[in-house]
Amino acid sequence: MRHAKIDELKELEELLNKVKAIEGIKERTQNHFYYKGLGILHFHSDSGQIYADVGEERILIGTIGNMSKEAMDKTYNLVKKAAAKRMI
| 14-38 tens-digit pLDDT | 999 999 999 999 999 999 999 988 8
Q: Which is it for strands 2-3 and 66-67: parallel, antiparallel or unpaired?
A: unpaired
pTM of the model: 0.88
Query: What are the pLDDT digits (tens) for 59-84?
Result: 999 998 899 999 999 999 999 998 88
Provide the 8-state DSSP code for 7. Answer: G
Domain residue spans of the chain: 2-86
pLDDT for residue 87: 56
pLDDT digits (tens, 9 = 90+) for 45-64: 999 999 999 988 999 999 98
- In angstroms, rounded to a whole number, what is the distance separating the alpha carbons of residues 8 and 83? 25
In angstroms, how far is the first alpha carbon of the chain from the final one? 34
Question: In this predicted structure, what is the pLDDT of residue 84?
Answer: 85
